[in-house]
Amino acid sequence: MKSILLPLLFTVTVSISAQEKKPVEIFNSQKVINANTTETVGKGKMEFKVTHNFGDIAGDFGGLKNFFGLDNNVDVRIAFQTGIGKKLDLTLARSKGASKQQRLWEMGLKYQLLQQLENDPSHPVSIALYANAVVASNTASTTPNLDHSYKGISERTSNVFQVILARKMGKFSVQLNPTLVTRGYSISYDQKTIFALGGAVRIPVSGRVNILVDYFHPFRSQSSKDSFSVRENIKFSDPLGIGLELVTGRHVFHLNFTNATEILENRFIPRTVTSWGDGEFRWGFTISRQFTVWKDKKK
């Protein structure tokens, strides 16, 4: 009798333990609206993602004359994110760009250091590291001291480094994105390196519908703000995104509203100059589809 009960007890114990330590999916996609998440696609899988930002809904460049921004194609990003390891993703992407730096080629890596597990106090949060390199390939300006007056490949390059921390509490998800943006070139009264603190939340509406919010506060120097205000009459704004998420099978669709004109962190963190208060926010959407590229033989 003991020879039957002991293996059975062991099997039940292992099964319960596995159930108790089930990984928690905090967000349904690798991006909220503007912010990266801690989620990875999984080894052997690839996510194809298209993000599109239109023009201002209101303000001087919006309204009915521009069909509330839908007449204007401001920025577009097409990305392929592939799981090259169990917790390691490689992203290759191309963005149009919405200002003087355009035709942006991006390569990024995301590594999930820790994943939140159900009923496991030793894994209360998910933590990921993200880094990218972006190169602007548009024609350089011969006029000095413009945003695209770069010389050589190093001045065309910018980088983002992020530590992403996320936790799901019940059905509510919350996240922090400390972010460092470095640029090989900036105009004389701008900063080459800017630190920003970002955050995001997901609020469930129903089983397949969620409200998404993300926000970044760039810590720009006062002297830089004053210089832009005096020389170019530019006032910077904090990027804020609000969206509706619809999950259907392997497709994830986001309807976005954001005052950030550009899609890449390399650009919208140092260069958001449009304000929600002035109606300078825009429609946008993101659609994602996952594919299996190869099967993990270990599984």
Residue 6 pLDDT > 60, yes or no?
no
Residue at token pair 């809904």: 57
Helix, strand, coil % over all residues of the chain, rounded to 5: 15, 45, 40
Residue 119 confidence (pLDDT): 85
Q: Which helix (H) or strand (E) holds 157?
A: strand 157-169
Is 5 part of any domain? no
pTM: 0.87
Residue 17 confidence (pLDDT): 46
Residue 69 pLDDT > 80, yes or no?
no
Taking residues 100-115, what's their average pLDDT? 96
Residue 194 pLDDT > 90, yes or no?
yes
Q: What is the dihedral of CA 117, 121, 123, 127, to 10 degrees?
A: 110
Residue 14 confidence (pLDDT): 41
% pLDDT > 70, the chain: 91
Residue 233 confidence (pLDDT): 92
| Greater model confidence, 59 or 180 | 180
Could you give the number of structural domains in the chain? 1
Residue 218 confidence (pLDDT): 97
pLDDT band for position 298 (cuts 50, 70, 90): low
Using DSSP's 3-state secondary structure scheme, residue 143 falls into coil
* DSSP single-letter state for residue 276: G
Give me the sign of the Cα torsion angle 68, 73, 75, 76. positive
pLDDT band for position 299 (cuts 50, 70, 90): low
Side-chain half-sphere of 268: how many Cα atoms within 13 Å? 26
Is 29 part of any domain? yes
**What token pair was written down for 146?**
């413009």
The tens digit of pLDDT for each residue in 200-250 reads: 999 999 888 999 999 999 999 999 999 999 999 999 999 999 999 999 876
Is 243 part of any domain? yes
pLDDT band for position 297 (cuts 50, 70, 90): low
Residue 166's DSSP bridge partners are 126, 175
Is 190 part of any domain? yes
Give Cβ neighbours of residue 173 (< 8 Å, ≥ 6 apart). Answer: 26, 27, 166, 167, 200, 201, 202
Residue 247, φ and ψ in degrees, nearest 5: -105, 120
Residue 7 confidence (pLDDT): 46
Which ranges of the chain would DSSP assign to H, the alpha helix? 2-20, 153-156, 222-232, 265-271
Residue 20 confidence (pLDDT): 54
Is 15 part of any domain? no
Burial (CB count within 10 angstroms: exposed 0-12, middle 13-18, buried 19+), residue 102: middle
Q: Which helix (H) or strand (E) holds 241?
A: strand 240-248
The tens digit of pLDDT for each residue in 125-165 reads: 999 999 999 999 999 999 999 999 999 999 999 999 999 99
Side-chain half-sphere of 1: how many Cα atoms within 13 Å? 0
- The pLDDT mean for the chain works out to 89
The number of helix segments (H) and strand segments (E) in the chain equals: 4, 12
Taking residues 179-203, what's their average pLDDT? 96
Taking residues 5-18, what's their average pLDDT? 43
Query: Could you tell me the CATH number of the domain that includes residue 134?
Result: 2.40.160.40
CA–CA separation, 59 vs 205, rounded Å?
Answer: 31
Give me the domain span that covers residue 257. Answer: 23-292
Residue 8 pLDDT > 50, yes or no?
no
For 55-64, 229-238, 248-257, 279-288, which range has the lowest pLDDT when averaged over its residues?
A: 55-64
| Greater model confidence, 140 or 62 | 140
Is 11 part of any domain? no
Is 4 part of any domain? no
260 closest CA partner among 242, 286, 244, 287: 242
Residue 291 confidence (pLDDT): 87
* Identity of the amino acid at 120: D
pLDDT band for position 12 (cuts 50, 70, 90): very low
Residue 71 pLDDT > 80, yes or no?
no
Is 154 part of any domain? yes
For 93-102, 269-278, 287-296, which range has the lowest pLDDT when averaged over its residues?
A: 287-296
